[in-house]
Amino acid sequence: MYTWPCAPVLAQYVWHHRHSFTNCTVLEIGAGTALPGIVAAKCGAQVILSDSGQLPKCLRNCQMSCQANGIAGSVAVIGLTWGLFTPELLHLGPIDTILGSDCFYDPAVFEDILVTVSYLLEHNPRAQFVCSYQERASDWSLEHLLHKWNLSCTELKLATFDADTTNIADSNLPGSHTIHVFQITRSSSS
């Protein structure tokens, strides 16, 4: 399985902050190959991996990644579809951290992601959403949606957690590999 360039950067963030993940509950949304969630589980977090409930193949990929990494029995894999309020979303227990690697790949899904994240942060006020993002277009913005859903965003500088994006995952793919990591929380005015 190919791991997109954002996943190793977010996994590096988790590893750098591994002591803060011990005994925490982590939900990875849009998990795909689940690298950041697997690293969190290896660091002692209680992890729930999720991907679209409408794409069973994605959920099987998460399960296969857990099995390959020896954590199949201790990590839950659930179907969560961004923007839909399904029983899987409504019945989630307390969460400390939400992880998302390259979820913001298409402006058509930005609001669905933020609706889901806003709901989770509203029900887990001390939680944070940490996401990695590969810059694809300079005119893509979340600002109006963050404001609409009462969320605040802070960029986490890659150097603060020793991320090296000059040769991400030994990638030689053409194009830009500019990666950003953001922390999204509920706005303090809520």
User: What CATH number is given to the structural domain containing 56?
Assistant: 3.40.50.150
At residue 2, the pLDDT reads: 37
User: Shortest CA distance to 28 belongs to which of 102, 101, 121?
Assistant: 101
SS3 letters across 1-34:
CCCCCHHHHHHHHHHHCHHHHCCCEEEEECCCCC
At residue 120, the pLDDT reads: 97
The answer to whether position 58 is within a domain reads: yes
The answer to whether position 16 is within a domain reads: yes
Domain with 30 in it: 6-186
pLDDT digits (tens, 9 = 90+) for 80-125: 999 999 999 999 999 999 999 989 988 899 999 999 999 999 999 9
The model's confidence at residue 77, banded by pLDDT at 50, 70 and 90, is: very high
At residue 164, the pLDDT reads: 57
Provide the 3-class DSSP secondary structure of residue 107. Answer: helix
Cα torsion for 96, 4, 73, 95, to the nearest 10°?
10
The answer to whether position 1 is within a domain reads: no
The tokens of 92 are what?
């989630």
The answer to whether position 81 is within a domain reads: yes
The answer to whether position 111 is within a domain reads: yes
The answer to whether position 131 is within a domain reads: yes
User: Shortest CA distance to 145 belongs to which of 99, 103, 101, 107?
Assistant: 107
Q: How many structural domains does the chain have?
A: 1
The answer to whether position 14 is within a domain reads: yes
The answer to whether position 73 is within a domain reads: yes
Instruction: Over range 159-181, report the average pLDDT.
Output: 62
Instruction: Over range 165-171, report the average pLDDT.
Output: 50
Instruction: Over range 148-171, report the average pLDDT.
Output: 74
pLDDT digits (tens, 9 = 90+) for 1-56: 334 578 888 999 999 999 999 999 999 999 988 999 999 999 999 999 999 988 89
Widest CA span in the chain: 44
